[in-house]
């Protein structure tokens, strides 16, 4: 038997100092690439106007804390409405998406369900070959959803990736629990509510976070389907895009959204756009790895 065959695999051994140092350097570099831009935006948003102008538009370290930009942003106006619209769309869309994804994933996870395999293949086909923007726009137009906030979440209520991950998680639940529920006289709905969902907190938290991030950050659908609406109906991400793309941005209706907004105000809006998701993630982090890994075991 050759030495290569009897050699111990590389992963049980202790890594070499060079490898450990390279990993540490890579982690530090990635951390800096993520932290420095966010800190630059945060520091600019809380710096004084004079310091921002003196530093050329972006401040690395504030000389004093100045929260006037946040006060101006939250003091009504289009930004206040945009935050409320984004929060409403995210909340309603996430609840509807979680409910519909959970019901469909549970149905597809059960063996011998009527039409389960053809439906699953059809769903996976849409994942591999999406319809595209034009058919989606035509469907939304035919349903008369243009100009309504429902166009931001109803057409994308079920994400195929989230559906497959949740279905895999449900398939990983021991079959003995389903059989015990049937022996106790529980139907499918009661089994889902009393047994499956309490065991699926991890995957529900992960999928809910995926949906919430997608709805909160989506700006393109509002541009596409709310182009004839007033600026008060636009979500925060779409308004922020207006700030970033033009110093004198206007909505599609011609109403002035911004008039030469300073970098400090832009930075404050960016921070407010990132803060809700960043604040929710630490509370869901303990579910994150467990939900994704468990849901990926079977499909």
260 falls in which pLDDT band (50, 70, 90)? very low
Helix ranges restricted to H, the chain: 3-6, 17-45, 49-54, 68-74, 77-109, 116-128, 133-142, 160-171, 175-183, 188-191, 197-199, 201-217, 220-225, 236-245, 263-295
Give the tens place of pLDDT for each residue, 229-251: 666 778 888 888 877 776 444 44
The pLDDT, as a whole number, for residue 258 is 43
Exposure of 115 by Cβ count < 10 A (0-12 exposed, 13-18 middle, 19+ buried)?
A: exposed
Secondary-structure class of domain 72-295 per CATH: mainly alpha
pTM attached to this predicted model: 0.77
Judged against a pLDDT cut of 50, whether residue 202 lies above it is answered with yes
Half-sphere exposure of 192 (CA within 13 A, CB side): 17
The pLDDT, as a whole number, for residue 132 is 79
Query: 149 in helix, strand or coil?
Result: helix
254 falls in which pLDDT band (50, 70, 90)? very low
Judged against a pLDDT cut of 50, whether residue 221 lies above it is answered with yes
The pLDDT, as a whole number, for residue 178 is 84
Average of pLDDT values for 127-139?
84
The pLDDT, as a whole number, for residue 288 is 61
| In contact, 212 and 277? CB cutoff 8 Å | yes
CA distances from 181 to 103, 104, 192, 203 (A): 18, 20, 10, 21
Judged against a pLDDT cut of 60, whether residue 225 lies above it is answered with yes
Give the tens place of pLDDT for each residue, 276-298: 877 777 776 666 655 555 544 44
163 falls in which pLDDT band (50, 70, 90)? very high
The pLDDT, as a whole number, for residue 293 is 52
The structural domains of the chain, with segments of one domain joined by +, span 16-66, 72-295
Give the tens place of pLDDT for each residue, 94-124: 999 999 999 999 999 888 788 888 888 888 8
Q: Which has more confidence, 91 or 77?
A: 91
Average pLDDT across the chain, whole number: 79
Cα torsion 282, 286, 291, 293 to 10°: value is 110
Average of pLDDT values for 145-172?
88
The span from the first CA to the last CA of the chain, in angstroms, equals 39
Quote the CA–CA distance of 35 and 42 in Å, as a whole number. 10
89 falls in which pLDDT band (50, 70, 90)? very high
Chain centre distance of CA 49: 33
| In contact, 269 and 276? CB cutoff 8 Å | no
Phi-psi label, residue 155: left if phi above 0, alpha if psi -120 to 50, beta otherwise: alpha
Query: 256 in helix, strand or coil?
Result: strand
Judged against a pLDDT cut of 70, whether residue 23 lies above it is answered with yes
Judged against a pLDDT cut of 70, whether residue 185 lies above it is answered with yes
Quote the CA–CA distance of 115 and 213 in Å, as a whole number. 32
Give the tens place of pLDDT for each residue, 31-42: 999 888 888 888
For residue 288, what are its two tokens? 């994150």
Using the structure block, give the residue that is written with the tokens 């006289």: 185
Query: 95 in helix, strand or coil?
Result: helix
The pLDDT, as a whole number, for residue 104 is 92
Q: Which has more confidence, 26 or 77?
A: 26
Judged against a pLDDT cut of 50, whether residue 135 lies above it is answered with yes
The pLDDT, as a whole number, for residue 30 is 93
What number of other Cβ atoms are within 10 A of residue 99's Cβ? Answer: 11
Average of pLDDT values for 156-181?
87
User: Above pLDDT 70, what percent of the chain?
Assistant: 83
């Amino acid at each position: 038997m050759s030495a290569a065959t009897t050699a111990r695999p590389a992963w049980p051994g202790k890594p070499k100092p060079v490898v450990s140092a390279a990993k540490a350097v890579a982690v530090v570099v990635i951390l800096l690439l993520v932290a420095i831009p966010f800190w630059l935006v945060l520091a600019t948003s809380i710096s004084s106007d004079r310091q921002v102008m003196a530093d050329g538009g972006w401040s690395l370290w504030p000389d004093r804390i100045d929260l006037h930009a946040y006060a101006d942003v939250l003091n009504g106006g289009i930004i206040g409405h945009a935050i409320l619209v984004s929060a409403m769309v995210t909340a309603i869309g996430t609840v509807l998406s979680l409910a519909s994804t959970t019901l469909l994933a549970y149905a597809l996870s059960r063996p011998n369900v009527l039409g389960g395999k053809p439906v699953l293949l059809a769903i996976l086909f849409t994942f591999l070959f999406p319809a595209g923007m034009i058919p989606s726009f035509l469907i939304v137009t035919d349903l008369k959803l243009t100009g309504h906030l429902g166009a931001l979440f109803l057409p994308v209520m079920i994400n195929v990736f989230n559906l497959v991950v949740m279905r895999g998680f449900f398939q990983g639940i021991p079959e003995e629990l389903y059989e015990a529920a049937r022996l106790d006289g529980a139907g499918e709905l009661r089994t889902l509510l009393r047994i499956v969902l309490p065991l699926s907190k991890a995957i529900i938290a992960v999928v809910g976070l995926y949906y919430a991030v997608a709805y909160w950050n989506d700006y393109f659908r509002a541009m596409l389907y709310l182009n004839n609406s007033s600026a008060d109906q636009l979500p925060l991400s779409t308004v922020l895009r207006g700030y970033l793309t033009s110093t004198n941005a206007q909505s599609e209706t011609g109403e002035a959204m911004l008039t030469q907004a300073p970098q400090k105000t832009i930075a404050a809006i960016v921070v407010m756009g990132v803060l809700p998701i960043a604040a929710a993630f630490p509370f869901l982090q303990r579910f994150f790895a467990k939900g994704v890994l468990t849901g990926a075991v079977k499909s």
